[in-house]
Structure 1
Amino acid sequence: METKTDFTQLGLSEETLRTIAAKGFETPTPIQKLSIPVLIHEQCDIIAQAQTGTGKTAAFGLPIIEKLSTNANQNVKALILVPTRELALQVTDEIISFRGKRDINVITLYGGQSISEQQRRLRRGADVVVGTPGRILDLLKRNDLILDDLEWGVLDEADEMLNMGFIEDIEAILSHTPEQKRMLLFSATMPDRIVKLASKFMKSPKKLTVGSQTRTTDLADQIYFEVRKADKFDALTRIIDIEPEFYGLVFCRTRVDVDELSSRLLERGYSSEGLHGDISQAQREKTLKKFRNKFINILVATDVAARGIDISDLSHVINYSLPQDPDSYIHRIGRTGRAGKEGTAITFITPDEYRKFLFFQKTIKSNIRKEVLPNAQDIIEMKKLRIKEELQSIVESEGYMDYLGMAEGLLEVNSPEVALASLLRMAFKNQLEESSYAEVRSFKVDNKGTTRLFIALGKKDGMNPRKISSFIRDKVRVSDNKIDDIGVYDEFSFVSVPFADADAILKAFSSKTQGGKPLVTKAKSRS
């Protein structure tokens, strides 16, 4: 098959080809196509620039497994340094899965784990060590880790290790390694400090660059909202509420921000937890397990804490705080485009961040479009629709049988409408009242003289903001700039238009229906 031919051309052995076929690998990623032949057939060091989530572990892991010597000593032959415990565990699992039936011992070393147990594992012998710089350096100083026979040194996510302050530790670690080894450096960006590190410890490295910035953003629908700082929380909850199955990562700048936001979300009744550098490893692993299993659907994190999290089916990545630089923006939103699944990347922009955001747009060269937040009426309409769907599901499954007697008792003293309305009030309290939603103001708001229209077509009907605008203009002569605040959701859409144009639109669509209901109706004007 073509897939196997692709991997065969990279110079991998039959045993490795069988292993990766069993793993379900189909086609090599760009970084694998570039790196594997060089590492198999040449003897040079390499500097590979590639984004997170591009298959870098296989790019260096497969050649190391192929080329690792099988001499009898127990000293470490390959050292892979990574910035976080989570990534260390992931890389270890991948390397183990690559070895097939080969007798290669792989161990993980990181802080937060018993050092005495790690010492015992090292005494039993290890061919490949994957670890974080702090613990590796600690074990080197204790003479528990011997790197005299090292054949391969790998720096994975080198730029992130720089951001976390590990560069001095890395230099100290590399000073314990022999000169005759192959050095592999993988990094999404190449800051000057990383370049200097490479020039000091690498021998005429070959530079491999793959994946332009657009690679990590082309599967993300990128949106930004202009909101005031005080309105960010309410803006976030509106986005969560309007989405039928929100499953997202929310980025904050600091640990304090993460703690505050995750606490506010919990208080508001959302299933959320936070992740930052001060959280223990045990708690981190527990939180990530809950998030992967979707026991929680909102994970609030700092950039550093989120590194190494590899979850492929996120619906949203939200920049609650603007990242520090364009590269960080790309790292964040690239998480929505993994495994070929399109996601939505949302950024909140406050007035004082607008100039910086314009710089991001220019640098990234990607289409980030401005949208208007769903208003209270939009949220309420969505919630009402979900209530109807859930009630219908209960009716169809006959899940109401145990409550028939109680229902009959209520109907003896109340009309059906009053009984049902009272139950809805009890179940949803004030969730369906506009007064429960705080006003979220944009930078420049002028909503006077407009009418909000409800359109019974949404994403499931193939609609997007451009198509909604065309849909209206096909029936009514109204200019594009008068159709504003377009919100397109799964089942329906909203637009705001001037009063005079609203009357013309309603008249033009008066005979049109969708599912037996009017296709276009008047909603409450935004106040």
Structure 2
Amino acid sequence: MSTFQELGLNEDLLNAINDLGFVTPSEVQQKAIPVLLEEERDLVALAQTGTGKTAAFGFPMLQKINIKSRTTQGLILSPTRELCLQITNELKLYGKYCKGLNVVAIYGGASVTEQANQIKKGAQIVVATPGRMKDMISRKLVDISKIEYSVLDEADEMLNMGFYEDITDILAHTPMEKSTWLFSATMPKEVASIAKKFMYDPLEITVGNRNESTNQVSHEYYVVNGRDRYLALKRLADANPDIFSVVFCRTKRDTQRVAEKLVEDGYNAGALHGDLSQNQRDLVMKAFRNNQIQMLVATDVAARGIDVDDITHVINYQLPDEIETYTHRSGRTGRAGKTGVSMVIVAKSEVRKIKSIERIIKKQFQKKDIPSGMEICEVQLMSLANKVHNTEVNHEIDPYLDSINDLFEDTNKEELIKKFFSVEFTRFFNYYKDSKDLTVSESGESHSRERSSDDVRYFINVGRKDGYDWMSLKDFLKAILELGRDDVFKVDVKDSFSFFNTEKALQEKVLSFFTDFKYNGRFVNVEITENRGRSGGGKRDRKRGRRNRDEQPRGERRSRRSKDSGRRGASGSKKNRRSASDRPRRSRRK
């Protein structure tokens, strides 16, 4: 079926479709809409994000409900506030010619009383997040006992977010004879389980293969040292001057930190995560949709409501904990028939995850090197040249041309071009002229050699007896030193002492911080050891019951030299270190 008219939709919906400029139904719409219009049955639809799933269930529901009735007949559950609002707004657009239609959004972060009042006015369709919906049912503020259609949108994401019990409780208040439509990008066993429990003989339709990524998106990965992750992100942005992207982080803290650093470095960036108020999230999304933000740094949960068709890149600053989540991330780009790129920044230890993702999405990743400084300078220069070449002349400058011509009277064309483009080129050249190569080899041998030359290994006088394991000690060190998640590594915890590594550039910061440092009433001592590798690190000599000599702090091996003396001998030079944010201010684009 090549047109919406052929799908069996009524005139009111077809008029709205014409106003929206929809021409050809997507594959999931072609497969789902005729079935849902003709039959009263359960349906499982597997399709990638951005393939038009909202219209696939929205049009049939709008056509089948009784608009003249004030009874709630349709319930749509979605994982996040953003997606809830998005679905509500789209249904209102689809039903703009359906007189008397009332679609109400129920979500956290807004007034319960106001939402309840909207429902009392007569809401034929309720779109809700599971948590708020369960709350309103318990307060008897909404009645879903007579609904005829229920939709679980982004079902896999709702289950990943821990909404299984909420969904179970909500559906328990609905009639058995309703039709349930489940839409999901992936089909993990949890989704299959909920389909089996709440649906009767569902028809399954699949667009592409299960869990497979869309063909509109290409996949790339870049291997860097963990400490260079942020520098790599900036280079990828600089190498794509017209980037309009979503940058994914795993935690709210990392999301905020990365966004703030990007803004400090002159990028048009913003953060989107669960700690923001609803008003703050709305403002960020409005700026992003208006292209005032070019790099939106987001958590997976917050990004579920992003519905922007022009996103050029998805950048995985950190891989998700659940591999299936990668499918949702990459689905943010390559939408509405456009192409997109999904980039992954990984440390060497994470490369194996790329292979796992390839098996799930059935697509191959292309390994690429982080662009060099000179490559970025060339890209930026040619981007500016193309913009200048394609710029329409604003004749409002005509009155000032005589003064400008006088200023450049003795400047020939070639020199003028050089001067003009040097304004932009020089900023990037000065920043990148001495920049290092960020790409590292996947070979364990070469990577190990590089690590050992740059690492510093420390002794610290806390261990298991103080309640630490390797993870909690690593988190403790990162928190008090205000370091990134990859800045502390090779943590080895013993009974009463431990060892850890940082890059050499952080040596002075670590040692100075722990000078006369007290924690919970006791001094915490940190000193440098000479063995920087993990093998043998901190192992006790089983025959003699003592630590290896190579892992003993210098202060113990050298006649108990004073701590300050040992630190002076170990302190590194600042000359060759460069701050991650020591770059020219990037001109903000409007």
> Could you say whether these structures have the same fold, taking a TM-score greater than 0.5 normalized by the shorter chain as the test?
yes
Q: Does the CA-based 8 Å contact 2:51-2:336 persist in structure 1? A: no
Q: Does the CA-based 8 Å contact 1:430-1:436 persist in structure 2? A: no
Q: Does the CA-based 8 Å contact 2:306-2:332 persist in structure 1? A: no
Distance 1:388 1:31 in 2: 42
Which of the numbers 169, 176, 186 marks the counterpart of 2:173?
176
Residue 116 to residue 214, structure 1, CA distance change in 2 (3 Å): closer
- Deviation, 1:202, is 2.1
Residue 194 to residue 438, structure 1, CA distance change in 2 (3 Å): same
Segments of structure 1 that go 5 or more residues without pairing to the other structure are: 447-527
Is 1:186 aligned to 2:183, yes or no? yes
- Aligned-residue sequence identity (percent) comes to 40
Q: RMSD of aligned C-alpha atoms?
A: 3.1
Which of the numbers 373, 387, 403 marks the counterpart of 1:376?
373
Distance 1:423 1:174 in 2: 65
2:40 alignment partner in structure 1 = 43
1:298 alignment partner in structure 2 = 295
1:437 alignment partner in structure 2 = 435
What are the residue-to-residue correspondences of 1:495-510 with 2, within 5 Å? none
Specify the code of the residue in structure 1 equivalent to 2:440. Answer: S
- Deviation, 1:101, is 2.9
Is 1:83 aligned to 2:79, yes or no? yes
Residue 403 to residue 76, structure 1, CA distance change in 2 (3 Å): same
- Deviation, 1:260, is 1.5
Distance 1:14 1:416 in 2: 62
Is 1:316 aligned to 2:318, yes or no? no
Q: Does the CA-based 8 Å contact 2:220-2:368 persist in structure 1? A: yes
2:231 alignment partner in structure 1 = 234
- Deviation, 1:248, is 0.9
Specify the code of the residue in structure 1 equivalent to 2:71. Answer: N
Is 1:345 aligned to 2:338, yes or no? no
- Deviation, 1:10, is 3.1
2:138 alignment partner in structure 1 = 141
Segments of structure 2 that go 5 or more residues without pairing to the other structure are: 447-590
Residue 403 to residue 444, structure 1, CA distance change in 2 (3 Å): farther
Specify the code of the residue in structure 1 equivalent to 2:13. Answer: T
Is 1:199 aligned to 2:199, yes or no? no
1:224 alignment partner in structure 2 = 221
1:57 alignment partner in structure 2 = 54
Secondary structure of 2:441 counterpart? coil
What are the residue-to-residue correspondences of 1:199-278 with 2, within 5 Å? 199-212=196-209, 216-278=213-275
Distance 2:49 2:417 in 1: 51
Is 1:66 aligned to 2:69, yes or no? no
Residue 267 to residue 75, structure 1, CA distance change in 2 (3 Å): same
- Deviation, 1:22, is 3.5
Distance 2:66 2:342 in 1: 45
- Deviation, 1:352, is 0.4
- Deviation, 1:378, is 1.3
Distance 1:296 1:23 in 2: 25
Secondary structure of 1:299 counterpart? strand
Secondary structure of 2:85 counterpart? helix
Q: Does the CA-based 8 Å contact 1:82-1:156 persist in structure 2? A: yes
TM-score, normalised by the number of residues in structure 1: 0.75
Distance 2:389 2:309 in 1: 32
Residue 215 to residue 10, structure 1, CA distance change in 2 (3 Å): farther
Distance 2:414 2:64 in 1: 75
Count residues in correspondence: 441
TM-score, normalised by the number of residues in structure 2: 0.68
Secondary structure of 2:332 counterpart? helix
Over residues 233-266 of structure 1, what are the superposed CA-to-partner deviations in whole Å (9 max), with x where a residue is unaligned? 1111112112231111111111121112111111
Specify the code of the residue in structure 1 equivalent to 2:193. Answer: K
Residue 439 to residue 183, structure 1, CA distance change in 2 (3 Å): same
Residue 393 to residue 60, structure 1, CA distance change in 2 (3 Å): closer
Q: Does the CA-based 8 Å contact 1:50-1:211 persist in structure 2? A: yes
2:455 alignment partner in structure 1 = none
Specify the code of the residue in structure 2 equivalent to 1:382. Answer: V
Over residues 151-190 of structure 1, what are the superposed CA-to-partner deviations in whole Å (9 max), with x where a residue is unaligned? 1111111111112222211111111112221111111222
- Deviation, 1:287, is 0.5
